[in-house]
A and B are shown apart, each in its own frame.
Chain A
């Protein structure tokens, strides 16, 4: 064998070895090939509504916030399992018995205009939201903040921000989830422009048509493989489904139960879901007869078949609730069971109540096909124990008015927040929360537990107190916890590494989890 031939052979051998090695790297333990993320492609998202504004401090609804989340960062975030993780804040400490929160900022963060993000920007963002003249819908979130102070780091030291609260608040981190950081504006800037530090930069906004965003190459968490994002407002859910099927959009959520099966059967469409941090309740107006009678409330609780409600109206898109704490919350108690569906017990409670012969009442719901179908089902369930329901449907704005004014007998409403139990429980159950405690429930024990849990900093102690609240309210039944809705997302298979988030937010590129990318043909 000549030298030349031998060197060709050895080169071939080398090539084979390298290819095998590369192949091994690209295979996981089960031997499946993990495709390398490809760069490029624009992900088109069907959003339920157009953004109200691209100013994150003016954003109130989920559909605006999920666009702002791409352009702006918050100080901390919730990862996919519901745990707090640092975003712009690298770490945080609590001092002064929970009254002061010290946040240490990341040092490698730049805004889209190239300016570095500093403590001044964080302080500016807080003050902007807290300014009554600016009238941010998030002002109430920061009502408990007494002062914000920025500390510029020396040399290699990072910037820090100290937030002082009026009173200690163990749930304060959940407040920070909603505070987006915007840069201090230039003194001569005339118009506010959406410049943030998020993974995508603002491209264009054609109202009611699209919001287009472009990849920010210098994002501190690594540039997204996606070239850009387009959010298209499509209010009709049936239209969103059609657009997904015809390739007009690559992602939609809130997939309706009736379309689930069809979409699941459809080739090339993926469906993914996660339990949301929400609950849907049947609220009882305890300030009205006969709902002031705990026996009546218990009878209703046992007459409702929550599993069946989920099965019929929310197949695959919700889980039956045992109490107000959803499985996505850190205070969730998997050993806790809600009232069992037991018609005999329900009838017993009715017999011993103030209305043994039954009664008739109105069930107030807001518009929506699922609300309507759910109400009809509840109507038939309660008929079994002699309660005759008349279903009254109101448009959302009117419904809110009736809810706040306690102008109803029974109502169906969903409560959606982040998984922080304080956010899930306090406003609806504390007797001092006059506006949102729509069932009129008042219990000194619950008030005291909620107040103490709020200022407590020990997480396991807080969890214990919230679980106790859960046991009391399920037993007292001022409202019956029906179900927790899932966030169900549907997308074509070329969209890779996308995960629905428990808050309904979209994270395509984040400091946690894999970045979403699009596979070519």
Chain B
């Protein structure tokens, strides 16, 4: 098991190296001069622009710049942001909690809604409930998250006035800590009320997928011989579904769920902009606009690391779900 985990870690190295080369090159190949964008059109002065580019090393060949970048990366230095004039690692660390909070909330919502709905849809096959669940799932998967986000804002913030439209209402762990130390419920409510709409919008596509995956996987398992045998033994339907079928049906769902947690981290990019959510997604969008190379590469690497770690974790969870999986 330890050996397997180590091997997975080693595999991550070429993956991350590939990501760094890709992101580094793409960011620099797209037209646009970071120094000019930072200075602004009205202040453009050829002499000063050239001097600044030279000082930042942007006039050197691309491979020299990459070698430099990689050297820094190995030492754990993600570089300096041109726009913010601060270390990229500090910028990412400052914004990562907000993104993780949003992605985790969306993930939990998707699991909490998607799996039970999928199970019930499979058990009540052919009923109106199943059709409604499938329709809802396809809808959730097809609607662009940013559009759903805007609709949610229109309905819950503008029309009904129940929830705030945008921004983060303080950190959720902080709000829990305040609750435990006698700070009252209001920080928690503020935090949750700001979190709910973006989390719902972000969760919708994943929830749809969860419903469909759980349903089809459950249907497969319910058609297996051992379920028939269980029925023949006279076990209650409840025991069959929840004790014998569900655990097996969840194996493929967990794979997809794991991958989707990674996607949620990256998928928050657009929604963070719509909801003015102060996470790394929004920072990445702004970095692309201002050609802030180090920040673009840093956030992309961060998401890649997230993917690799989650994939490894998913592989490890398999063992618990399916004893046939071994790590030799």
Contact = CB atoms under 8 A, between A and B. Distances in A.
A248 B166 contact: yes
B113 to A, nearest CB: 26
B244 interface: no
A208 B51 contact: no
A397 B274 CA distance: 21
Contacts of A402: 31
Given A416-B42, A434-B46, A436-B41, A398 B30 contact: yes
Interface stretch (B3-11, B178-186, B260-268, B278-286): B278-286
Interface in B59-108: 83-85, 91, 94-95, 98
B48 A248 contact: no
A401 B33 contact: yes
Q: Counting chain A CB atoms within 10 Å of each CB, which of B46, B167, B291 scores highest?
A: B167
B37 interface: yes
A61 B166 CA distance: 23
A239 B39 contact: no
A355 B33 CA distance: 36
A29 interface: no
Contact of A232 (B38, B39, B85, B276): B276
A423 to B, nearest CB: 8
B32 interface: yes
Interface stretch (B150-158, B201-209, B233-241): B150-158
A60 B276 contact: no
Contact of B158 (A138, A206, A242): A242
A395 B289 contact: yes
A207 B290 CA distance: 17
Interface in B216-238: none
A398 B168 contact: no
Contacts of B166: 234, 239, 242-243, 248
Nearest to A278: B42
Nearest to A405: B31
A236 B286 CA distance: 12
Given A137-B43, A435-B44, A436-B41, A49 B286 contact: yes
Contacts of B154: 242
B43 A60 contact: yes
A127 B37 CA distance: 24
A23 interface: no
Interface string A383-407: 0000000000001111011111000
A79 interface: no
B52 A135 contact: yes
B37 A400 contact: yes
A152 B33 CA distance: 43
Interface in A416-458: 416-417, 423, 427, 434-436
A207 B276 contact: no
B36 A404 contact: yes
Given A140-B48, A246-B161, A397-B289, A235 B276 contact: yes
A238 interface: yes
A218 interface: no
Interface string A17-60: 00000000000000000000000000000000100110000101
Contact of B39 (A53, A60, A209, A234): A60
A478 B246 CA distance: 73
Q: Counting chain B CB atoms within 10 Å of each CB, which of A140, A143, A206, A208 scores highest?
A: A208
B44 to A, nearest CB: 5
| Contact residues on B (Cβ < 8 Å of other chain), bracket | 35 or more
| Contact residues on A (Cβ < 8 Å of other chain), bracket | 35 or more
A132 interface: yes
Contact of A243 (B48, B165, B289, B290): B165
Contacts of A400: 32-33, 36-37, 41
B207 to A, nearest CB: 24
A504 interface: no
A245 interface: yes
A106 interface: no
A434 B84 CA distance: 29
Contacts of B153: 239, 242
Contacts of B167: 209, 232, 234, 248
B43 A207 contact: no
Nearest to A234: B276
Contacts of A140: 39, 43, 45, 48
Contacts of A239: 153, 165-166, 274-276
A180 to B, nearest CB: 15
B323 interface: no
Interface in B1-55: 30-34, 36-46, 48-49, 51-52, 55
A187 B32 CA distance: 40
A84 B157 CA distance: 44
B278 A207 contact: yes
Given A135-B52, A236-B276, A397-B33, A435 B158 contact: no
Nearest to A394: B31
B43 A138 contact: yes
Q: Counting chain A CB atoms within 10 Å of each CB, which of B43, B91, B153 scores highest?
A: B43
20 contacts: A60-B39, A61-B40, A132-B51, A137-B38, A137-B39, A137-B40, A138-B43, A140-B43, A234-B167, A236-B274, A238-B150, A242-B158, A243-B166, A397-B31, A397-B290, A400-B41, A401-B33, A402-B31, A413-B41, A415-B41
Interface of A: 49, 52-53, 58, 60-61, 132, 135, 137-141, 143, 206-209, 232-236, 238-239, 242-243, 245-246, 248, 395-398, 400-404, 413, 415-417, 423, 427, 434-436
Given A234-B166, A246-B165, A436-B44, 10 more contacts: A52-B83, A58-B85, A209-B167, A239-B166, A245-B158, A401-B33, A403-B41, A404-B36, A413-B41, A415-B41
